[in-house]
Structure 1
Amino acid sequence: MKVTINDVAKLAGVSMKTVSRVINKEPSVRKRTYDTVMEAVTQLNYQPNLAARNLAGTSSFTVGLVYDNPNAYYVIDMQNGVLSRCKEEGYELVIHPCSSTDSNMEHDFKTMVKRSRLAGLVLTPPLSEQTNITDMLDDLGIHYVRVLSGRPTDDNQDTCIYVNDYKAAYEITSHLLSLGHLHIGFLCGDKEHKSTTERLAGYKAALTDHNITFNPEFIYDGNYSFESGVNGAKTLLANNNKLAITALLGGNDEMAAGALFAARLMGIGIPEQLSITGFEDSPFSRQTWPKLTTAHQANDVISQHAARLLFTKTRGIRNQDKEIITSFTPSLVVRESSGPKIP
């Protein structure tokens, strides 16, 4: 027979209301009571009915993850991070893709939030960077946490998990410069993503600090896709007699993998004639040959901490999680795709 909350209450010697308070992780429950109830939950292998909990009262036990990103690896990592925390907290997860350029996006977004009766949301770029979205959620009284590239310029900094794309791009560019590459092309991702401007700014800053003049001809404006990396590399390398590019920095690993593919088609040796680097350390970076030098960005860990921060907001300041990390800097991973400039 299915174990019920009444069975847990009898075994723990408490009321059903107390069991409910423990399962919902209300801050007023004493530790001794919490441990007694959780021991009964474990012994009976009790699984709360989340649908019933959502219907039973005003509290919701469902949170959402909203994204607008074509990179399946990114989406899966973000999903896994949030989901792992939801399981620990006893919440369900609704995953909702959006198109930030769709004229009906805001209406559809609002409809989804109301229909799903969400307790809160984790917003990923570029949706997390749009004030019309956060203003709408504020009006609806919905808790949210934003994953952002760089620090925000608004007053809601306590709702953010930051990714320091600027510093990571600075380090990748400095790595290429240390190998003797003075003419470095940059493959930009989607302009609506702040990560694009942050990574480009880090690239420019590294050039400046090494006394190298920025050349706008070394920049290709594309999007975060393999095809864009192919086209960007072909465009920049087609003029190589003029530009003398010896290294390419991809806006992400997909673009870098596309650039490597294009270079191969053009008969260019990697890294003997051209060094290529990516960003994010997705599986793309390890599926190419040679493997890509990149910046490791732990999206599953980032999203897990975003979910942890969200749950402190849905449960109040008394449940503040002191172990939450709110700032992440992708770290340089040197592999075979980058090498010294050969005279």
Structure 2
Amino acid sequence: MKVTINDVAKYAGVSIKTVSRVTNNEPSVKQATVDKVNEAIKALNYQPNLAARNLAGTKSYAIGFIYDNPNAYYIIDMQNGILSACKDKGYELVIHPCNAKSENICDELCNLVKHSRLAGLVLTPPLSEDPKVLKALSEIDANYVRIIAGEETKVGDGLTILVNDKSGAVEITQHLIDLGHKEIGFLSGDLHHESTKERLQGFKHALTKNKLKLNKDYIIEGKYSFESGVAGANQLITLENRPTAIVACNDEIAAGALFAARLAGLDIPNDLSIVGFEDSPFSRQTWPKLTTVHQPNTEIAKVATELLIANRREQHTTLSKTFTPEPVLRDSSASPHKQ
């Protein structure tokens, strides 16, 4: 038979109302009582009826995941992280893909919050970086957390998860420079993503720090896609003085660049080193496997959701956490081939 709230109350030796207050994460319950009820929930494998909770109370127990991103691996990692936190805290997940460039995006998200009775939103780039979206959500007093690229200076008000893409780009570019590369290309992602700008800044910073000249012909604008990596790499490897290494804005772009380079008869990494960013499955599915920068997207999403739920109970105005991606060295980078 299905375990009920009555069974949990009896097992823990408390009232049904107390069990309800614990499962609703109300802050006024003594910690000893919370521990006793949670022990009973675990022992009986009790699953609260979240739909009933949403209908019966004034509070909602659903978190919205808002995204506009073509990278399926990124979306899955984020979804898994949010789900993990939701399960721990007794919340459901509502997934809402959308078009960040839509003229009606602000109305769309505000209506979603109101009609779906969401407890909060996890906003990912580029929506988390759009001032119009943030202003509209703040005006309806929506609870949201932003995942954005940047450093501590970009925190501002509210809940923010910062991903220090610039630092990761500096480190991966420095890796290539330490190997002896001086002619290094850069394949950009979508320019309306702040991560693209941060990674390009990190690339340029590493060159400047090592007193290497920036060749504008080596910086190719593109999108976060395999096809963009193919097109961008073809531009670079057909230059009369082609670079000996390429920094790609993410692993999907890097995989496309590697495909194009091998199709052109280049040996990776002896003729050309290629590195990516994010450490997605793309980086491990290529041959050779990609040197990249590890970005813990599942953990980032989990922490973001935990901040969101905690803020709902405690009403903090500003909370932030910074993640700094770090290089993962594999087989696609080596010292430049000596003629």
TM-score over 0.5 for the pair? yes
| Structure 1 unmatched ranges of 5 or more | none
Partner of residue 321, structure 2: 326
Q: CA contact under 8 A between 1:305 and 1:325: conserved in structure 2?
A: no
Partner of residue 340, structure 1: 335
| Structure 2 unmatched ranges of 5 or more | none
Listed one character per residue, the Cα deviations across residues 313-341 of structure 1 (whole Å, up to 9, x for unaligned) are 111159x9xxx981111111111100001
Partner of residue 232, structure 1: 232
Listed one character per residue, the Cα deviations across residues 171-230 of structure 1 (whole Å, up to 9, x for unaligned) are 111111111111111000001100000000000011001111212111110000000000
Q: CA contact under 8 A between 2:155 and 2:162: conserved in structure 1?
A: no
State the Cα RMSD in Å: 1.7
Q: Give, in whole Å, the separation in 2 of the partners of 1:250 and 1:327.
A: 23
Letter aligned with residue 275 of structure 2:
T
Partner of residue 86, structure 1: 86
Letter aligned with residue 110 of structure 2:
K
Letter aligned with residue 339 of structure 1:
A
Q: Give, in whole Å, the separation in 2 of the partners of 1:280 and 1:181.
A: 22
Partner of residue 289, structure 1: 287
Partner of residue 103, structure 1: 103
Displacement of 1:155 in angstroms is 6.8
Letter aligned with residue 189 of structure 1:
G
Distance 1:138 1:309, change over 3 A: same
Partner of residue 273, structure 2: 275
- Larger CA deviation: 149-158 vs 78-87: 149-158
Q: Give, in whole Å, the separation in 2 of the partners of 1:229 and 1:209.
A: 27
Displacement of 1:81 in angstroms is 0.5
- Matched-pair identity in %: 57
- Larger CA deviation: 209-218 vs 294-303: 209-218
Partner of residue 216, structure 1: 216
Instruction: Determine whether 1:174 maps to 2:169.
Output: no
Displacement of 1:342 in angstroms is 2.0
Instruction: Determine whether 1:31 maps to 2:31.
Output: yes
Alignment of 1:11-160 (within 5 A): 11-151=11-151, 156-160=156-160
- Larger CA deviation: 266-275 vs 101-110: 101-110
Distance 1:224 1:135, change over 3 A: same
Partner of residue 9, structure 2: 9
Q: Give, in whole Å, the separation in 2 of the partners of 1:11 and 1:166.
A: 52
Q: CA contact under 8 A between 2:151 and 2:322: conserved in structure 1?
A: no
Partner of residue 307, structure 1: 305
Q: CA contact under 8 A between 2:229 and 2:257: conserved in structure 1?
A: yes
Displacement of 1:40 in angstroms is 2.5
Listed one character per residue, the Cα deviations across residues 131-166 of structure 1 (whole Å, up to 9, x for unaligned) are 111111111111111001003766734411110100
- Larger CA deviation: 19-28 vs 61-70: 19-28
Instruction: Determine whether 1:265 maps to 2:263.
Output: yes
Displacement of 1:84 in angstroms is 0.2
Q: Give, in whole Å, the separation in 2 of the partners of 1:39 and 1:73.
A: 35
- Aligned pair count reads 337
Q: Give, in whole Å, the separation in 2 of the partners of 1:11 and 1:263.
A: 65
Displacement of 1:29 in angstroms is 0.8
Q: Give, in whole Å, the separation in 1 of the partners of 2:294 and 2:155.
A: 29
Q: Give, in whole Å, the separation in 2 of the partners of 1:302 and 1:333.
A: 18
Q: Give, in whole Å, the separation in 2 of the partners of 1:2 and 1:139.
A: 43
- Larger CA deviation: 261-270 vs 99-108: 99-108
Q: Give, in whole Å, the separation in 1 of the partners of 2:187 and 2:222.
A: 7
The normalised TM-score by structure 1 is: 0.94
